C-alpha cells in the first residue's frame, strides 16, 4: 500500500516553516493533501494512521553511513543496514565508498544499486570515491561516476593528502555539479594516534591523535573552496578549532559546510578511561539536563573498544564547542557515521581494534536528548538538520519536505518517550555501540517510505 492518511500529528516541515496540528494524505507515494479536513474525503483502501501525540516530519536523511556491502558482509549488509535505518526513522541514507571493491567505477555503482533496489525498503544512495582505490594518488572517473548515479564523491575512511589532487578533484566536481565531501585527517600530524591527544592519552598510555590533525585539513579545504569556488562539506567534525575555522569562513562567504555526529556532542575521551571517569567529568548532566530518570548511570570498563571511532572522542571543551556549532548552524547537518564491526573484530586490544560504531538507531534520540531537551533547540531546527539541509547539499530532488507533490517519505516520532537501548532494540548485524544500556529520550515510532509503512514500533 503506497497511500496513507496520517491524522492528528504535529506536522513540522522546516522547508516551508510549517508547525501545526494537521492531517497529511499521501496517495500513490506522493503528498496529495495537507489540512484538517482531509479525513472527510479519503479513498477506500488507504492506510489510516493516528499520529496523536507524535511529531510528523519529512523522512529523515543520513548522508554518512557504511553498509559494508560488497566485501565486508560479516559486519553489515545493505538489507540489515537499511533495516537499522528504518528503525531509526531514516527513509534515505547515503553510503560511503570504502567497500571492497571501492566504489570508484560505474560498474560497482550499478552492482550496489541493483542490490539495494532488491533488498532495501528505503532509498540507499551512493557516493563515489574521489581517487582510485581511495588511495589518494589518482583521480577516479568523476564524470562517469556522476553519470552512473552517485550523489557525491568522497574518500571517506581516508583523506586525500595531496593538495594538488584535491584541487583538481574540486575543479572536476564543480564541472559536473557534484558535491564533494571530505574526511579531514592529516596523516603526518595524526601518525599512529588512536585516542584524542590530551590528558587521557597520557594517563592511559595510548598514542595521541591531536585535534590539529583535523584542523589542518579543514583549513586546507577552506582555502581550496575559496580558490576554486567549489563547495566542500567537511565530515564528522570533532574539534573545537575546526568549528571556529568553519564559522569564520562562512562569514566571508566561502562555500564550506560541516556535519556533526551525536557521539561527538555526547561523549568525551574520558569515556575511554571507563564509566567512572566519564561520569565524574560529566557530573551526570547528560541525563539531568534532558530530564531523564536514571537511578543508576550506565557502566562500562576502561579501554572499551565501543568508544573507539575516527575521528576520536575529544575533550569536554571540544564537546561543548561542537554542540555550540550545531546549535548556531555552523555545523548544519547531523549524521551517524554508522560504522558496524562484528564482535571478533572489536573484541581485541584497544590499540588494534578498528575504528567505528553503529549509530543509525540511536541518532535521533541522542540528538533530541542533547540538542532539544538539554540545550533548547527548537524541534523545527533539529529536524532541519536531518531533512531539507542534507537534501539541498546533495541535490536530492523531492526529498526533505512534505509539501504537496513531494515524495511521501515521513517519520513519526515521540520527542519525549524514555526508553533503554538494548541489543534486542537493534536490526544491525553488529552491536558495537557505546550507548547499549543507556536510557534515552525521544524515539521513532513509524517510518513511511513513498506512502508505505516500512517500520513501526507496533511491529517490533
CA-CA distance, 454 to 21, in Å (whole number)?
A: 24
Residue 270 lies in a domain: yes
pLDDT digits (tens, 9 = 90+) for 36-84: 867 667 888 899 999 999 999 999 999 999 999 999 999 999 999 999 9
CB 268 within 8 A of CB 317: no
Residue 423 lies in a domain: yes
CA-CA distance, 376 to 303, in Å (whole number)?
A: 33
pLDDT digits (tens, 9 = 90+) for 241-267: 999 999 999 999 999 999 999 999 999
pLDDT for position 43? 82
pLDDT for position 258? 98
CATH label of the domain that carries residue 336: 3.20.20.140
User: Which candidate, 239, 435, 259, places its Cα nearest to that of 319?
Assistant: 239
Residue 458 lies in a domain: no
176 by Cβ neighbours in 10 Å (0-12 / 13-18 / 19+) ranks as middle
pLDDT for position 18? 97
CA-CA distance, 109 to 205, in Å (whole number)?
A: 42
pLDDT digits (tens, 9 = 90+) for 160-209: 999 999 999 999 999 999 999 999 999 999 999 999 999 999 999 999 99
Residue 91 lies in a domain: yes
83 CA to centre of own chain? 15
Residue positions annotated with a catalytic role: 337
Q: The pTM is what? A: 0.97
**Across 376-433, where does the E strand assignment appear?**
410-420
Cell of 442: 525521544
The pairing of strands 55-58 and 4-13 is parallel
Mean pLDDT computed over 377-406: 97
Cell of 334: 547531523
CA-CA distance, 201 to 319, in Å (whole number)?
A: 17
Q: Is the alpha carbon torsion for 274, 275, 276, 281 positive or negative?
A: positive
Could you give the number of structural domains in the chain?
1
Average pLDDT of the chain, as a whole number? 96
Which residues face 126 on adjacent strands?
95
* Domain with 191 in it: 58-401+411-442
pLDDT value at 1 more than 70:
no
Amino acid at each position: 500500500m503506497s497511500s496513507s492518511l496520517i491524522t492528528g500529528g504535529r506536522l513540522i516541515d522546516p522547508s516551508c516553516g510549517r508547525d501545526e496540528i494537521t492531517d497529511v494524505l499521501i496517495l500513490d507515494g506522493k503528498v496529495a493533501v495537507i489540512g484538517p479536513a482531509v479525513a472527510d474525503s479519503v479513498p477506500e483502501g488507504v492506510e489510516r494512521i493516528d499520529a496523536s501525540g507524535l511529531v510528523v516530519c519529512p523522512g529523515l536523511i543520513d548522508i554518512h553511513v557504511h553498509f559494508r556491502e560488497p566485501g565486508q558482509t560479516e559486519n553489515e549488509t545493505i538489507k540489515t543496514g537499511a533495516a537499522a535505518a528504518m528503525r531509526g526513522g531514516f527513509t534515505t541514507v547515503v553510503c560511503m565508498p570504502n567497500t571492497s571493491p571501492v566504489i570508484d567505477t560505474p560498474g560497482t555503482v550499478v552492482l550496489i544499486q541493483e542490490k539495494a533496489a532488491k533488498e532495501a525498503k528505503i532509498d540507499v544512495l551512493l557516493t563515489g570515491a574521489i581517487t582510485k582505490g581511495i588511495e589518494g594518488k589518482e583521480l577516479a572517473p568523476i564524470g562517469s561516476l556522476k553519470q552512473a548515479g552517485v550523489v557525491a564523491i568522497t574518500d571517506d575512511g581516508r583523506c586525500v593528502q595531496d593538495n594538488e589532487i584535491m584541487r583538481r578533484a574540486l575543479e572536476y566536481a564543480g564541472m559536473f555539479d557534484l558535491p564533494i565531501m571530505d574526511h579531514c585527517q592529516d596523516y603526518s600530524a595524526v601518525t599512529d594516534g588512536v585516542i584524542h591527544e590530551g590528558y587521557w592519552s597520557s594517563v592511559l598510555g595510548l598514542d595521541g591523535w591531536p585535534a590539529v590533525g583535523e584542523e589542518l585539513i579543514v583549513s586546507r579545504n577552506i582555502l581550496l573552496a575559496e580558490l576554486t569556488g567549489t563547495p566542500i562539506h567537511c565530515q564528522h567534525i570533532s574539534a573545537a578549532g575546526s568549528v571556529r575555522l568553519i564559522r569564520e569562513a562562512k562569514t566571508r562567504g566561502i562555500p564550506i559546510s560541516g556535519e556533526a555526529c551525536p557521539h561527538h556532542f555526547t561523549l568525551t575521551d574520558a569515556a575511554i578511561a571507563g564509566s567512572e571517569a566519564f561520569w565524574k567529568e560529566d557530573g551526570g548532566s547528560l541525563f539531568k539536563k534532558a530530564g531523564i530518570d536514571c537511578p543508576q548511570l550506565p557502566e562500562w570498563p576502561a579501554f572499551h573498544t565501543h568508544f573507539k571511532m575516527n575521528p576520536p572522542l575529544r575533550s569536554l571543551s571540544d564537546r561543548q564547542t561542537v554542540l555550540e556549532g550545531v546549535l548556531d548552524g555552523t555545523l548544519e547537518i547531523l549524521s551517524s557515521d554508522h560504522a558496524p564491526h562484528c564482535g571478533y573484530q572489536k573484541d581485541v586490544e584497544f590499540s588494534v581494534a578498528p575504528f567505528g560504531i553503529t549509530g543509525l538507531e540511536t541518532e535521533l534520540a541522542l540528538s533530541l536528548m542533547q540538542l532539544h531537551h538539554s540545550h533548547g533547540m527548537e524541534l523545527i531546527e533539529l529536524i532541519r538538520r536531518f531533512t531539507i539541509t542534507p537534501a539541498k547539499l546533495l541535490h536530492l530532488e523531492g526529498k526533505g519536505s512534505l509539501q504537496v507533490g513531494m515524495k511521501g517519505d515521513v517519520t513519526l516520532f515521540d520527542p519525549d518517550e524514555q526508553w533503554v537501548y538494548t541489543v534486542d532494540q537493534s536490526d544491525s548485524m553488529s552491536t558495537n555501540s557505546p550507548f547499549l544500556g543507556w536510557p534515552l529520550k525521544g524515539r521513532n515510532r513509524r517510518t513511511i517510505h513513498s506512502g508505505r509503512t516500512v517500520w513501526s514500533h507496533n511491529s517490533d
